[in-house]
Structure 1
Amino acid sequence: MGQGSGEKGTTTAISSSSAASNMRPNTPTAIATANKGKEIAQYNADAGLMAEYENSGVSGKSFNYARSVVHAPQSVPEEQITAYLARMQRGGLIQPFGCMLAIEEPTFRIISYSENCFDMLGLDSLVSQFESKQENGLIGIDARTLFTQPSGASLSKAVASREISLLNPIWVYSRTTKKPFYAILHGIDVGIVIDLEPAKSGDPALSLAGAVQSQKLAVRAISRLQSLPGGDIGALCDTVVEDVQKLTGYDRVMVYKFHEDGHGEVVSEIRRSDLEPYLGLHYPATDIPQAARFLFKQNRVRIICDCNANPVKIIQSEELKQPLVLVNSTLRSPHGCHIQYMANMGTIASLAMAVIINSNDSTKLWGLVVCHHTSPRYVPFTLRYACEFLMQAFGLQLHMELQLASQLAEKRILRTQTLLCDMLLRDAPFGIVTQSPSIRDLVKCDGAALYYGGTCWLLGVTPTESQVKDIAEWLLRNHGDSTGLSTDSLADAGYPGAALLGDAVCGMATARITLKDFLFWFRSHTAEEIKWGGAKHHPEDKDDSGRMHPRSSFKAFLEVVKSRSLPWEVSEINAIHSLQIIIRDSFQEMEDSGFKTVNSQKSDDTDMQGMDELSSVACEMIKLIETATVPIFGVDSAGIINGWNEKIAELIGLQAKEAMGKSLVDEVVNEDSREAIGNLLSRALQGEEDKNIELKLRNFGIPKQNNDVYIVANSCTSRDYANNIVGVCFVGQDITREKVTMDKFIRLQGDYKAIIQSLNPLIPPIFASDENACCSEWNAAMEKLTGWTRDEVIGKMLPGEIFGGFCRLKGQDSLTKFMITLYRGISGQDVEKFPLEFFDRKGKFVEVLLTANKRTDAVGSVLGCFCFLQIVVPDLQQALEICRKEDREGFSKLKELAYIRQEMKNPLNGIRFTHKLLENTAISENQKQFLDASDACERQIMMIIEDDLGSIEEGSTLELKMEEFRLGNVLDAIVSQVMILLREKNLQLFHEIPEEIKSLDLYGDYIRLQLVLSDFLLNIVRYAPASDGWVEIKISPGLKLIQDSSEFIRLQFRMSHPGEGLPTALIQDMLEAGKQWTSQEGLGLNLSRKLLSRMNGQVKYVREQSRCYFLVDIEFKTSKERQRGGAGADS
């Protein structure tokens, strides 16, 4: 609709790309290009409709709205578009509720003015002073002379400021009548425009108080928005219309949403009970033209006080080459067609506010909040500014909700894709259409189909089987070079049989899976999805379709989308494309069964490299944590401390070895904070990370006057390779000194000037706000931090003038968030650790955490708020960033290793199958021995792949696989793993293993025994001296024991080499009880020791003068079970 937009109309360009959109993934660049094309088509339609409307007035012909919208031109001459944009932006008319001046910088010479300036400013008595009035009116006069001297000074100061708009409105008085005005300034190409709106009160202090009160009301509304549970955009919109209605008092308040194809929809509404409902109304894209949408992005609040009032003409200097730009003017007059539309629907006054969200590093007009009134209504600029403030907060909250909705939709799509892929593996390719979920569940559609091998599988509302075949043949003939096609209108796409399909099938998305086979998704007519209670004909409307009215807009929209479905969204196209790639690969694998094996064999080569890189990442991470100058600690999923660096140990006097194993909540955190920290841990273990959380910890060191330690920390979840949350890491900053100082300051009841003006480095940066958001204090630390002196800032507005003007912020969103925080403090709500970022006087970027506490008088009335700034230590930021980076890299490596572990299984199974075939052939005894050793090594690899490192670490949860084995076979497998390295280093291998030991038949987990012994032997070989070196293996049997009718034997394995032996750090890694190591070899030895311990064995490393060796003691059962008689004889 055109409410508040400035004009009316619609277009067939609802989906200009619908004819044949190739199925490719949508990149930001591709999306931007497509949107640009739609905008250009829309501009053409808008310009054509504008011309037709204006020509109807000249020619005397009636303007048939619905017919013109449906038959809007696809293209118009360039000069017609230029004229259309000029008419929208340079209309030369303003509304009569205010007057306007345009001045030249810096002389204040008037270059343009509205005709009503004389009446509004009471300038008739000054006519004699303007000698050139009869010829040029006010042109050339110094604008400051029209106002009182203080008012002129205020205007001069505003014009000289860095950002004019941040100081709006300026309170000025007419020189002759002394009447007050809001002066709203903005810059244009030829100077500065000053919009003047009459103010009711003559006291600027009262006006300022009113502005602050409006902001407080807006903050209260914002608090309501932020307190809503997430995941319900409808509730968010409903809350916003209620709050805007309370703030402004309009008869009707609506939320308009702009869809991707440009058309609009009323998604929320609150109205006077006797008014017709517009909720659910859809209207064509040209109802709010592209030019009007551009204006809304520039000037986000648009008021029309009385659509029946005669507009006021603008007079301008002859030296100006074109009409004045009125894009940002608060007084800009609406276009005639919009005025007519408002009159037809019984609306006299309106207020429209833009809802802007961030999208791909740019801003996007998501929709509008529009207010209607059935009688003239003026809302003061200060209240409109508060509404704009509310809209900015609404946009931020809406953006978060849209991101959440997008993530949930993506998760749903990924879950469906995963299930479909699983079906492909088990029942390719028919499971995706014969089981649930099916391809129909992937995206929103009315029906789906699989066309494969000349046969059709149909789901839901679809064409007939013969029609699907016909569509497939049409695609091959006309779009044979594309991988798919999406359209919201098969008729517009050129399909000859579209008329036979009717409204049941209008839109289609296809994905080509082989040269001649396709997947299809179908959508019905748009009207099936759209309901509006006000759509029926009204008896008083003699010509619904011809008049500009919501009902005719709705009818025109339905006519425009005739034979069209709802357009396919970007995320849906991407989901279809992703499934297409998976299915095409599945077909390729069926045609070439060797495909996966080849890739899997390649993954074997990267296994050790991936492990090396992961180990390196882990080592660097540990070094970073240990040497960090900020406190870092971690807990497992049970809240037990498992990480504790030197800084946190220093702060609270608790060393790492004492902290490990303690409960963070019950034993380390101060009891005042236990509930809060418990909730924090609970959220973190569910994936919700928090920032700038204040922790109050016990002090275990020397007792002090203040025995508590305060830190502010960020929580980061720790995840395993499968992305499961296994713990929480905290990276913090010590704030004990600042906290103590701030607490003392807040409690101070008397004179605080000594603290404010103190140069003591313990005093943090502090500023204060009065009840009107003006700066009332600015201490020495603030001067040092910002570069702006106390005298320069006292009395100035904190939001906009100081933070936004002097201390430049990053953008409008930053200013909005700061305003919300400040006004909460002024309203009596304490704010903790709000992150504030700004640029100081020299342009240096500053990051701080802001805490706001209310200021009260003796009787408890709020006077404003104190704001304490805590400078964010760079080490903390750097540590956080490095932690995140290392976490991302580590997670990436873990994912890669998880993939390798999975994909190694198939080639290993293939090798084992080959060995089984060889065993059944005629081979020699030596060849059989080689096969047995190879088979044992393969089993060892498979065990490594399937083992859970966590269970090895815990020990008690690891299940051993007990089976019979011959010790000689294990020894052959162990030796085979080091033979290549022995030959490379030219080492001799000696072994003293009696034949009766080799032939022992034992019972136990021989694969893990093989893993442990091969790891020890490999390190012995690795660190044996290369020149004249040797390695020796010796096994000594111990006594046999009988327990519970079973026979056990204790064996001792000695693996020796000459020289200095293994590095001390490596042995320390092996013996380390925790989860820290300095190298990959150390990790392997540590895990091997833990495995051995789980098998009731033990290992030690002995250094002698001429040799060093591992000594491994372990006990095995010699048989599964013995007869009781035999057992008694042996005993």
Structure 2
Amino acid sequence: MSSSRAASSSSSRNRQSTQERVLAQTTLDAELNAEFEESSDSFDYSKLVEAQRDTPTVLQEGRSEKVIAYLQHIQRGKMIQSFGCLLALDEKSFNVIAFSENAPEMLTTVSHAVPSVDDPPRLDIGTNVRSLFTDQGAAALHKALGFADVSLLNPILVQCKTSGKPFYAIVHRATGCLVVDFEPVNPTEFPATAAGALQSYKLAAKAISKIQALPGGSMELLCNTVVKEVFDLTGYDRVMAYKFHEDNHGEVFAEITKPGLEPYLGLHYPATDIPQAARFLFMKNKVRLICDVRARPIKVIEDEALPFDISLCGSALRAAHSCHLQYMENMNSIASLVMAVVVNENEEDDEVGSEQPAQQQKKKILWGLIVCHHESPRYVPFPLRYACEFLAQVFAVHVNKEFEVQKQLREKSILRMQTILSDMLFKEASPLTIVSGAPNIMDLIKCDGAALLYGGKVWRLGTAPTESQIRDLALWLSEVHMDSTGLSTESLHDAGYPGASALGDTVCGMAVAKINSSDILFWFRSPTAKEIRWGGAKNDPSDMDDSRRMHPRLSFKAFLEVVKMKSLAWTDSEMDAIHSLQLILRGAVDGVVKPTGKASLDEQIGDLKLDGLAELQAVTSEMVRLMETATVPILAVDGNGLVNGWNQKAAELTGLRVDDAIGRHILTLVEESSVSVVQRMLYLALQGKEEKEVRFEVKTHGPKRDDGPVILVVNACASRDLHDDVVGVCFVAQDMTVHKLVMDKFTRVEGDYMAIIHNPNPLIPPIFGADESGWCCEWNAAMTKLTGWHREEVLDKMLLGEVFDSRNASCLLKNKDAFVSLCVVINSALAGEETEKAPFGFFDRSGKYTECLLSVNRRQNEGGLITGVFCFIHIPSHELQQALQVQQASEQKSLKRLKAFSYMRHAINNPLSGMLYSRKALKNTDLNEEQMRQIHVADNCHHQLNKILADLDQHNIMEKYLVAWIWRWLNLCCKMWWWLL
């Protein structure tokens, strides 16, 4: 695939290319499926994949009939697996409109252990489902109808009237009906009380804790951990993490197996191995279980009068495609369990603000799969599958975080390299410096080689075509892509370059940036196959059918054939970096940056100084005022531990006036039990190591003495002078005294805690709670005031899914990641692990977004058993919100000022480089003593200007000489206020 440079954003380019790939891939999937169905034993997978790769896209797009038939076949299949049975119900009447052939036997067979004088119920089209199950089970099924998302109650425990057998009922809505999967319950492994999503989450609690505890920054460590945890949780023989690449092909990124199995780690396989239709189904139904590939599928019988076909896309029982079953059997995998890993689409210019409801957030994409294989039939009960799905969601949240970290590191690296290359260009005023020096253009992005065609000459770096081949490439670009300013392609062969075959396996991918019509920069990449190594077994020539049987080894071989003339794709961030360098080069070569007059520059600098100084003075005054009047205690000490700061809130809480506190040693003001804690905190802060969220107790004085000590949770912020030396410590604290009192009441269930919850006193924070099954059981007055939802509107609703969710809930969360994070902290509390002040946010009834901190604590009965959770919300004060707004405004102004200085620096630098070149030329001519003296003076002036420009680039003169002390104050204030949020 090749693309000429367009004026569109990188994300829109990416979205368009992704859609084109999906459409082309779906067409190819349909072709291969048709060939498989028609050819039976003569089906040759690798040859067909290679043949389809060479088929022009225009011809593929014309095969719409096969595509439609293929998609209908995948999504409207009428077969299920035999480990359960299926009913489709009319929502209004609750009558059966479709059932699997094994349903009558499983649900209506009379058990001798359950005596009955009545005739057993008959299951057929039109049977009312209430006649099949006990009253309690039928009522539970009917209750699910009242939910917008019926799957919230899954799994529902029901018992057959005739046999008394328990079943898990897994409900979902399909077009025109309610589809219910029934799976037998094994009471010895999963007792009948373990129903409901929250109970299922407990099974994955240990695995989730391990993932949560991982240090960030390593995708490999994250993937290896998740496959190990799934391996231990499910007991399968092999567990793999599949990762999909941008061109839709897949890679086994992490793997764990039982001893003796052939490893697949590092295996790459073509995109056709997992068709687009299957990927769509994974997005819809995120867990897929195949119990036995050799088991006979069961037919589903539908009411002939139905005006529609029932879709089984959302059913866990849906039968697998015969092509997939054959593939599994060929690799000696009899059973499998697959979990989808769904992440945010990577759009770099997201136009949607972060504080928008989930419906307006980024699209979701399938990052990959967690795949489990077993060499014998294996059934995994629904609660454990649900736990695995939740584990995959937590994994996806961490993958998103790793994406953000990697993106920031990438951008930082590219910006750093752009700055270095720009400085090299401005100093020499010639493009040659970025190919002849170090670093060079190969360091800007990942590539195997690069070249510069400039002034009719060629400079080559790394693995690059010969000089004549580069000139031929330039000629081809001028003839075929004359109107484009650049080009990027993964395959010169696919892009139509006639000399691609002559390049051999040295170069196949290329990115181009035109400086002008005759000067061009090139970056080159070698074929993907050169970088891929697989540690698995090689093809055995003695296997007569090895070239036809669908198997991972054959998939790997097919993949290598597909990519033998392709390189890794050029990412949007890489193309943006190339484009930025292209603009800088054009300015340097063409001299588009015109000199700016001295008077004009002096005037601009003067204006910036005056505006910036007045603005910073105003901001500093406001920050100091906010600190003095803050509703949280703030205290400061010098390098000797003597108090030199004590705000009004600290005085109010302790009863110690400001005048009396100043000059006393901090250790004399804290309780004896906290002396060692404060001593350590002070020592570390003076060394520059700032501790966070440290709890200690402060003595009370005067009228407050009898109230007992004040409990504070404190962050230490080092105070620094102009030389960046630590000269003191500032403590920003939160008063947790009332909070601890309330928490003690709740955890010990002492006294009338209901009176505490619903007390209108403003000191009582917003509180809500849930029982062990996840139903909302508490919602106090403060919570009503905060959210706009009254207590009676949320009680007896599912806390996760109805009250809080990323869609269709009372309090909407920002996105699915926020919902998963809330699930984790609630589930952790039910497991005994409490959470303090986790970041949290939601939209209230009016659509206003509230950011806060959430503490979740377990609720226990008198016997110490956990009976639910209590959640406390901490809202930042009005002063804190105001301070943050002031800080953000200050940061925006500072950024604008820095950009203005940066522009002036470059505006001055370019003509100076030209003057330097002229002076060097003059020195080589016959000059008298006076003329040489003038050139020497000019050199000194140039040197002095360079020093000034260097200062402008780092901090700018104004910051360094006029308001350095103000910025020190702002830095300290920002640390304190951000911690409070």
Task: Tell me if TM exceeds 0.5.
Answer: yes
1:29 aligns with 2:12: yes
Asked if the contact 1:184–1:195 (Cα under 8 Å) also holds between the matched residues in 2, the reply is yes
3-state DSSP class of the match of 1:342?
helix
Separation (CA, whole Å) in 2 of partners of 1:614 and 1:755 = 53
Aligned pairs for 1:138-537 (under 5 A) are 138-201=124-187, 206-208=192-194, 215-359=201-345, 360=347, 361-427=362-428, 428-534=430-536, 536-537=538-539
Q: After TM superposition, give the deviation of residue 257 of structure 1 in Å.
A: 0.5
Separation (CA, whole Å) in 2 of partners of 1:267 and 1:367 = 10
Separation (CA, whole Å) in 2 of partners of 1:756 and 1:111 = 52
Separation (CA, whole Å) in 2 of partners of 1:725 and 1:389 = 48
1:39 aligns with 2:43: no
2:565 aligns with 563
Which piece of structure 1 moves more, 300-309 or 598-607?
Answer: 598-607
**1:685/1:908 CA distance change after superposition, 3 Å:** farther
Asked if the contact 1:770–1:863 (Cα under 8 Å) also holds between the matched residues in 2, the reply is no
Q: After TM superposition, give the deviation of residue 273 of structure 1 in Å.
A: 1.6
Q: After TM superposition, give the deviation of residue 453 of structure 1 in Å.
A: 1.2
Asked if the contact 2:764–2:782 (Cα under 8 Å) also holds between the matched residues in 1, the reply is yes
* Amino acid corresponding to residue 528 of structure 1 in structure 2: K
3-state DSSP class of the match of 1:245?
helix
3-state DSSP class of the match of 1:185?
strand
Asked if the contact 2:287–2:337 (Cα under 8 Å) also holds between the matched residues in 1, the reply is yes
1:1011 aligns with none
**1:613/1:314 CA distance change after superposition, 3 Å:** farther
Spell out, residue by residue over 1:540-585, the C-alpha distance to the aligned partner (whole angstroms, 9 max, x if none): 6322222111111111111111211122122221221121111121
Asked if the contact 1:151–1:172 (Cα under 8 Å) also holds between the matched residues in 2, the reply is yes
3-state DSSP class of the match of 1:113?
strand
1:833 aligns with 2:837: yes
Q: After TM superposition, give the deviation of residue 674 of structure 1 in Å.
A: 3.8
Q: After TM superposition, give the deviation of residue 636 of structure 1 in Å.
A: 12
Asked if the contact 1:665–1:677 (Cα under 8 Å) also holds between the matched residues in 2, the reply is no
**1:234/1:706 CA distance change after superposition, 3 Å:** farther
Separation (CA, whole Å) in 2 of partners of 1:740 and 1:778 = 19
Q: After TM superposition, give the deviation of residue 829 of structure 1 in Å.
A: 2.0
Spell out, residue by residue over 1:78-128, the C-alpha distance to the aligned partner (whole angstroms, 9 max, x if none): 232221111111111111111111122232122222121111112589999
* Amino acid corresponding to residue 47 of structure 1 in structure 2: A
Which piece of structure 1 moves more, 658-667 or 44-53?
Answer: 658-667
**1:896/1:767 CA distance change after superposition, 3 Å:** closer
Structure 1: which 5+ residue stretches go unaligned?
1-17, 914-937, 956-1071, 1077-1131
* Amino acid corresponding to residue 391 of structure 2 in structure 1: L
3-state DSSP class of the match of 1:519?
strand
2:583 aligns with 581
3-state DSSP class of the match of 1:208?
coil
**1:417/1:944 CA distance change after superposition, 3 Å:** closer
Which piece of structure 1 moves more, 900-909 or 343-352?
Answer: 900-909
Tell me the TM-score normalized by structure 1.
Answer: 0.71
* Amino acid corresponding to residue 549 of structure 1 in structure 2: H
**1:610/1:219 CA distance change after superposition, 3 Å:** farther
Which piece of structure 1 moves more, 380-389 or 641-650?
Answer: 641-650
Separation (CA, whole Å) in 2 of partners of 1:679 and 1:799 = 44
Among 38, 41, 46, the alignment partner of 1:66 is 46
**1:950/1:505 CA distance change after superposition, 3 Å:** closer
Separation (CA, whole Å) in 1 of partners of 2:517 and 2:551 = 51
Which piece of structure 1 moves more, 76-85 or 769-778?
Answer: 769-778
Separation (CA, whole Å) in 2 of partners of 1:694 and 1:883 = 29
Which piece of structure 1 moves more, 447-456 or 100-109?
Answer: 100-109
Spell out, residue by residue over 1:955-1001, the C-alpha distance to the aligned partner (whole angstroms, 9 max, x if none): 9xxxxxxxxxxxxxxxxxxxxxxxxxxxxxxxxxxxxxxxxxxxxxx
Separation (CA, whole Å) in 2 of partners of 1:701 and 1:597 = 70
Asked if the contact 1:768–1:864 (Cα under 8 Å) also holds between the matched residues in 2, the reply is no
Spell out, residue by residue over 1:1064-1100, the C-alpha distance to the aligned partner (whole angstroms, 9 max, x if none): xxxxxxxx9x989xxxxxxxxxxxxxxxxxxxxxxxx
Which piece of structure 1 moves more, 23-32 or 554-563?
Answer: 23-32
Separation (CA, whole Å) in 2 of partners of 1:832 and 1:205 = 32
Separation (CA, whole Å) in 1 of partners of 2:820 and 2:582 = 44
Spell out, residue by residue over 1:488-542, the C-alpha distance to the aligned partner (whole angstroms, 9 max, x if none): 1111111111111100111111111122011111111211100112251136632
Tell me the TM-score normalized by structure 2.
Answer: 0.81
* Amino acid corresponding to residue 54 of structure 1 in structure 2: E
Aligned pairs for 1:648-727 (under 5 A) are 671=675, 674=678, 703-706=704-707, 709=710
Asked if the contact 1:340–1:548 (Cα under 8 Å) also holds between the matched residues in 2, the reply is yes
**1:748/1:94 CA distance change after superposition, 3 Å:** closer
Spell out, residue by residue over 1:208-250, the C-alpha distance to the aligned partner (whole angstroms, 9 max, x if none): 2897675334222122122222211101100000000011000
Q: After TM superposition, give the deviation of residue 263 of structure 1 in Å.
A: 0.5
Separation (CA, whole Å) in 2 of partners of 1:584 and 1:101 = 68
**1:554/1:46 CA distance change after superposition, 3 Å:** same
1:812 aligns with 2:821: no
Among 546, 550, 575, the alignment partner of 1:548 is 550
Asked if the contact 1:852–1:865 (Cα under 8 Å) also holds between the matched residues in 2, the reply is no
1:882 aligns with 885
Asked if the contact 1:719–1:726 (Cα under 8 Å) also holds between the matched residues in 2, the reply is yes
Separation (CA, whole Å) in 1 of partners of 2:794 and 2:779 = 8
Q: After TM superposition, give the deviation of residue 308 of structure 1 in Å.
A: 1.2
3-state DSSP class of the match of 1:160?
coil
Which piece of structure 1 moves more, 254-263 or 470-479?
Answer: 470-479
Among 591, 597, 608, the alignment partner of 2:595 is 597
Q: After TM superposition, give the deviation of residue 895 of structure 1 in Å.
A: 1.2
**1:660/1:609 CA distance change after superposition, 3 Å:** farther
Q: After TM superposition, give the deviation of residue 876 of structure 1 in Å.
A: 5.5
Asked if the contact 2:748–2:860 (Cα under 8 Å) also holds between the matched residues in 1, the reply is no
**1:602/1:325 CA distance change after superposition, 3 Å:** farther
3-state DSSP class of the match of 1:468?
helix
1:77 aligns with 2:60: no
Spell out, residue by residue over 1:1088-1128, the C-alpha distance to the aligned partner (whole angstroms, 9 max, x if none): xxxxxxxxxxxxxxxxxxxxxxxxxxxxxxxxxxxxxxxxx
Which piece of structure 1 moves more, 833-842 or 411-420?
Answer: 833-842
Separation (CA, whole Å) in 2 of partners of 1:499 and 1:721 = 63
* Amino acid corresponding to residue 429 of structure 1 in structure 2: P
1:742 aligns with 742
Q: After TM superposition, give the deviation of residue 282 of structure 1 in Å.
A: 0.3
Asked if the contact 1:91–1:326 (Cα under 8 Å) also holds between the matched residues in 2, the reply is yes
Separation (CA, whole Å) in 2 of partners of 1:790 and 1:501 = 72
Aligned pairs for 1:51-62 (under 5 A) are 51-57=34-40, 62=42
**1:621/1:64 CA distance change after superposition, 3 Å:** same
Which piece of structure 1 moves more, 77-86 or 787-796?
Answer: 787-796
3-state DSSP class of the match of 1:102?
strand
Aligned pairs for 1:778-797 (under 5 A) are none
More RCO (CA 8 Å, sep 6+)? 2
**1:321/1:559 CA distance change after superposition, 3 Å:** farther
3-state DSSP class of the match of 1:565?
coil
Separation (CA, whole Å) in 2 of partners of 1:366 and 1:822 = 26
Separation (CA, whole Å) in 2 of partners of 1:758 and 1:598 = 68
3-state DSSP class of the match of 2:533?
coil
Asked if the contact 2:100–2:301 (Cα under 8 Å) also holds between the matched residues in 1, the reply is yes
1:849 aligns with 2:853: yes
**1:904/1:429 CA distance change after superposition, 3 Å:** closer
Asked if the contact 1:461–1:505 (Cα under 8 Å) also holds between the matched residues in 2, the reply is yes
2:973 aligns with none
Asked if the contact 1:352–1:368 (Cα under 8 Å) also holds between the matched residues in 2, the reply is yes
3-state DSSP class of the match of 1:303?
strand
Q: After TM superposition, give the deviation of residue 947 of structure 1 in Å.
A: 5.3
